[in-house]
Amino acid sequence: MTHIEAYKSRIRTAAEAVQGLKSGAHMAMGMATAEPPALLGAIADMAENGAVEDLKLWYFHSMDHAGDTVLRPDLLGRIRPRCMFLSSVDRKLLSTKQPGEKSPLEFVPVAFSDSPRLFEQEVSLDLFVTTVSPMDKHGWFTFGTSNDYSTTAARSAKKLVVEVNPNMPRVFGASLLHVSEVDAIVEHSTPITEVHPPEISAVDAKVAAIIADMIDDRACLQMGIGALPGAVCALLHDRKDLGIHTELMTPALAGLIHCGAVTNQAKTTYRGLSVFTFAMGDRAFYDFLDDNPAFHSAPVNIVNDPRHIAKNRNVVSVNATLQIDLGGACNSEHMMGRQYSGSGGQLDFVRGANASKGGKSIIACQSTARNGTVSRIVPRLDGPVTTPRNDTHIVVTEYGSVDLKGKSLIQRAEALIGLAHPKFRDELANGL
């Protein structure tokens, strides 16, 4: 059978493709912009009609397609979310919980880099569904914007169903999937979800300027999600021979490629290539990513492996946090008494940058939250430790920066109090 014949023989409607899904099954979906809307809609219909109960749904970072289908509040119970990184969709779902009720979703703590092993060794997946780019003339799809855990989950699940979307970018790297590996194919043309950066505040601009001054020519960049990393990138257009080895590829990082600041020529691994494991942005960004050999997509257990990150020199990792205690420990995932996001890959890149020769791990935040009423520098954390104090390197707020390496606990506390908002400094100092 030729690959064309194999493709045609596997074409199904979305409803046909998920037939056979049993109650109590474990399934996973492609994350973020790789959510397959037609397939998720068909699964939601099965749950709504009572055709499936107690379906365990595993995922990172849900978006609107999932929120409109499998993560609808009225389907909870029949579909049981097992979330490993909360998004606004999941936080909205949690807000439906009434006093005394069981949580509408179960949060599963796991490092992003360890998620492929989870699907390969710990969770027996009955079904994996995701969006892929169209098949080429040789029979190969790509995982497009979301390599992450998808390449492992796709090959570990008992059944793999893909939604082929002509709007999904075709990417280079370790992202290929052959038609012979697929059990069913659903063709569905729909715009890929676009993610636009939030507006940069005046405080974020101050923090970004401090961080940008720490980034020299030939640095290898990892930027986290949100407005701050984009603000930092906007200040780096005059740098030379920057490299990219990042979890998330964004329009801000792509802009550094456009302007020539990124050449990847100083990197040790994947020289000449911008490495990432998933991508989110606008349509122009997806068009730039499509069929562009300057990018290299790889699974998250490769991209986020601290040992692999550290092979490059001068790695600069920039990530945000919610709280920092006076010893330097960071809570980047829990606020107002509940899980807010997840650990993601923060600690992976903190450790990778720390182990890189000339590397800098930067943890950044505004000094206050809730319109200035709450200090982000605190005596002790309100939630779990995302980055332990042993690993924290450089901390930045709008009041400056501090390198915590080699400092005693009292020296750390004094330095971090200096980064707090002035109105909280006396209170923090009195607690020493």
- Nearest to residue 175, comparing CAs of 285, 37, 69, 300? 300
- The token pair at 412 is 């750390």
Q: Which residues contact 148 (CB under 8 A, 6 or more apart)?
A: 31, 60, 112, 115, 277, 278, 299, 300
Count of Cβ atoms closer than 10 Å to residue 271 Cβ: 12
Q: How many CA atoms lie within 13 A of 19 on its CB side?
A: 9
Structure tokens at 264: 């990847």
* 3-class secondary-structure state, position 185: strand
Cβ within 8 Å of residue 37, ≥6 positions away = 65, 68, 69, 163, 188, 190
| Residue 26 contacts residue 56 (beta carbons within 8 Å) | yes
Pairing mode, strands 315-320 and 360-364: parallel
What are the structure tokens assigned to 261, written together?
């600041």
| Residues labelled catalytic | 247
Q: Are 332 and 343 in contact (CB under 8 A)?
A: yes
Q: Residue 30 in contact with residue 150, Cβ under 8 Å?
A: yes
What's the sign of the alpha-carbon dihedral 157, 161, 166, 168? Answer: negative
Radius of gyration of the chain (CA): 22
Q: DSSP for 295-325?
A: EEE--HHHHT-HHHHTTSSSEEEEEE-SEEE
First CA to last CA across the chain, in angstroms? 73
Contact assessment for residue 147 and residue 132, using Cβ atoms and an 8 Å cutoff: no
Rounded alpha-carbon distances, angstroms, from residue 268 to 164, 217, 311, 429: 35, 15, 6, 44
Any idea which residue has 């749904």 for tokens?
Answer: 57
- Helix (H) or strand (E) holding 423, with range, is helix 422-430
Alpha carbons 223 and 349: distance in angstroms, whole number: 10
Place of tokens 């969006």: 131
